[in-house]
Structure 1
């Protein structure tokens, strides 16, 4: 079914499109959106139910969803004729059926590049915490179990000279590579397309086309690739079995990049030394066996959680809506592959 209203050129209410925002945004962003658009917010800040999303899609010109909203073909096919733009809060759009949106002439935008450094900082923080075993040390101190300094107590691994394997060498992967270089680590990476030689030289990065070899040579492996059918459970039992017993896995991408059953087994048996996770397959419901693992560093999806990043993402959304409302193609349009 075609949506003929993707352009607002001839619509009488084009100056103030009806915008539905599925989660709370920074106060300054919400205030600006209220000034510019006929905006409906979600004051409870709880993820909208499927039926609530269906009702919103039927009655708005623009939907502003987040990663907690699944906008699939079924919902899009029930959308109202006026829906012309889905302005996603965040860079990842795997929760939106881009192909179905395109078929209905609904534009989709995201907020690329906003959270690059914030996410890279967090990924490297997890890397340091996992490799140096700082979390078990902090836990022993807080639990009153620390007996004082000893030459062989709570030993971790130095970062300098170790091999950091990066899966996905986009903006965030490259930012992590810059940080790794500053810590004296060797950088190996796997990507759909090899980077230009000049950029590899800048990053001191070695391209590894064989994903299994990348896992086998890594002292730490960090995931920065998008979630797709080809990358779901990219970290599985077979690849974990290839890793060094001293290696760590870091994931700040999407939870389903990791087979959590396989990771639990690897952590419980000591097959790998540790993991640092900011995302989980069924968040906020996390497998209690993961949380019980003493060699896990876990954070509650904080990769983009900075005042600056969230404000900037909101500003990008406003810009995309304004471009669309004025009859122009938004600057951050996302197309299906």
Structure 2
């Protein structure tokens, strides 16, 4: 019997694919391949890891033989799940591996913008006339500040855990309140409304996924609720924030600064952000450690192997597709 064919459309840490290579016929490019070329050969493949490749309706229509797709991260807002369900293609994600590195990066953005690390580093390297002295380059300390976490899932909890060392006060707003036991564990106080959290927080950290209800969750009215001395950190999804409204708030002193790892139209970043000293920018890199990215590849491969070998799908995000699921050992005609 011919080996099943697995599509890995974008270069990743190859060490994580060892078991996949041992079992299957794996397409793995050594450099970035144009999307059009991937689409041409996609009908030949049984499974897909969607790193660097948007599985939109156009792509899904080419998935003639795909039984399962694993995302390359926890989020799947860029996946056309409705079409996946209709086609009977299972979608699995990586729900836990990104937690610690993303929380680390949230803290890094917060420290960098509040303590003006990126700003002073940039100016010193450019030999600008940067003043030194007891009242120069002063920022805001974290000690005693209130961090308001929007989205208290695994990443939110990991952030709360890290704030203990900085002697910060933590509040959170979530779709569902956590148990008293969990709140005590993380020393976090529930705030019933987003409005209250925004008014009371010194730093607002966004961790929420992108849904129809969270799109532009942060807009002009929300920024106007925040303190003038407050900072916004976004490690969730770009479209949760109305970027133009944020730009206006920063330019007009409505809030003090921002740390952004995600954007509305990635990889495009508004020029206005690039000119602001009180904004620190990341390249959607919160998970970008060698350790995490290698493990992400391995776990994405494991999602594929578990299903193709044993029919298991513990990280399934679209159970509706099970109604139309494609038989594991069947093949459809290739175009």
The alignment covers a number of residue pairs equal to: 320
1:98·1:336 contact (CA, 8 Å) conserved in 2? no
Alpha-carbon separation, structure 2, partners of 1:108 and 1:300 = 25
TM-score, normalization by structure 1: 0.89
Alpha-carbon separation, structure 2, partners of 1:56 and 1:194 = 47
For residue 93 of structure 2, the aligned residue among 96, 110, 116 is 110
Structure 2 residue 29 is the aligned partner of structure 1 residue 42:
yes
- Which structure's relative contact order is higher, taking Cα pairs within 8 Å and 6+ residues apart? 2
Aligned partner of 1:295 in structure 2 is 278
Alpha-carbon separation, structure 1, partners of 2:49 and 2:22 = 16
Aligned partner of 1:70 in structure 2 is 54
What's the Cα RMSD here? 1.9
Aligned partner of 1:60 in structure 2 is 45
Offset of 1:336 from its aligned partner? 6.3
Offset of 1:139 from its aligned partner? 2.9
Structure 2 residue 205 is the aligned partner of structure 1 residue 196:
no
2:232·2:259 contact (CA, 8 Å) conserved in 1? yes
2:131·2:137 contact (CA, 8 Å) conserved in 1? no
Offset of 1:155 from its aligned partner? 1.6
1:114-263 equivalences under 5 Å are: 114-146=97-129, 149-263=132-246
For residue 284 of structure 1, the aligned residue among 267, 291, 308 is 267
Offset of 1:104 from its aligned partner? 2.1
Offset of 1:126 from its aligned partner? 0.5
Offset of 1:144 from its aligned partner? 2.8
Aligned partner of 1:26 in structure 2 is 13
| SS of equivalent residue, structure 1 residue 188 | strand
Alpha-carbon separation, structure 2, partners of 1:109 and 1:42 = 22
Distance 1:37 1:118, change over 3 A: same
Alpha-carbon separation, structure 1, partners of 2:196 and 2:208 = 17
2:6·2:25 contact (CA, 8 Å) conserved in 1? yes
Offset of 1:30 from its aligned partner? 4.0
1:221·1:250 contact (CA, 8 Å) conserved in 2? yes
Q: Which structure 2 residue ranges, 5 or more long, are not aligned?
A: 321-335
Offset of 1:17 from its aligned partner? 1.5
Alpha-carbon separation, structure 2, partners of 1:132 and 1:77 = 49
For residue 321 of structure 1, the aligned residue among 301, 304, 311 is 304
Aligned partner of 1:4 in structure 2 is none
Offset of 1:151 from its aligned partner? 2.4
TM-score, normalization by structure 2: 0.89
Alpha-carbon separation, structure 2, partners of 1:159 and 1:146 = 28
2:10·2:53 contact (CA, 8 Å) conserved in 1? no
Aligned partner of 1:6 in structure 2 is none
The runs of 4+ residues in structure 1 deviating greater than 3 Å are 51-57, 145-149
Worse-matched range after superposition: 25-34 or 203-212:
25-34
